[in-house]
Structure 1
Amino acid sequence: MNFDSFAAFLAMGQHGLYVWSAYGISLVLLGLNVVLPLLARRRYLQEQARRLRRENQP
């Protein structure tokens, strides 16, 4: 597809809102698929460290 200007590219032939919102939602979901497991892993390791400290106290 060839566009005459950058504004025409952003408008995507009157479908720009749909196209760019779809890209935005996809990027947010991909970001969440990376960040949420990392946070869950960190939380799990912290809980296990706390549990081990509690069990090893005299």
Structure 2
Amino acid sequence: MNWESASDFWHMGGYGFYVWGSYAVTAVLLAFEVWAVARRGRLARVRVARDVAVERMDERRREPT
């Protein structure tokens, strides 16, 4: 498809709203996915660190004095 101006490109033959709206929704969803994966990883690391700390405390309690 050939466009004679930047305005024609953005308008996309009357379908610009749908085309650019689809790109916007996709970009938002991809950004959300990246954020959600990073959050899950961060929470998993916190959980593991907490579990390790609890295990160490339990080991210290079990040691004979």
Smaller-chain TM-score range? 0.7 to 0.9
Alignment identity in percent? 33
Deviations along 1:1-58, whole A, 9 cap, x unmatched?
Answer: 1111101110111111111000111111222222211210111111110121122124
Distance of 1:31 and 1:20 partners within structure 2 = 16
Q: Counterpart of 2:63?
A: none
C-alpha root-mean-square deviation of aligned residues, in Å?
Answer: 1.3
Taking structure 2 as the reference length, the TM-score comes to 0.75
Report SS of the residue matched to 1:24: helix
Name the structure 1 match of 2:15: 15
Unaligned runs of 5+ in 2: 61-65
Q: Which has the larger radius of gyration?
A: 2
Residue equivalent to 1:46: 46
Is the partner of 1:56 in helix, strand or coil? helix
Aligned length: 58
- Aligned partner of 2:28 in structure 1 is 28
- The answer for unaligned runs of 5 or more in structure 1 is none
Judging by fraction of residues, say which structure has more helix: 2
Q: Which protein, 1 or 2, shows the higher relative CO under an 8 Å CA cutoff with sep ≥ 6?
A: 1
Give, in whole Å, the separation in 1 of the partners of 2:45 and 2:9: 47
TM-score in terms of structure 1 length: 0.83
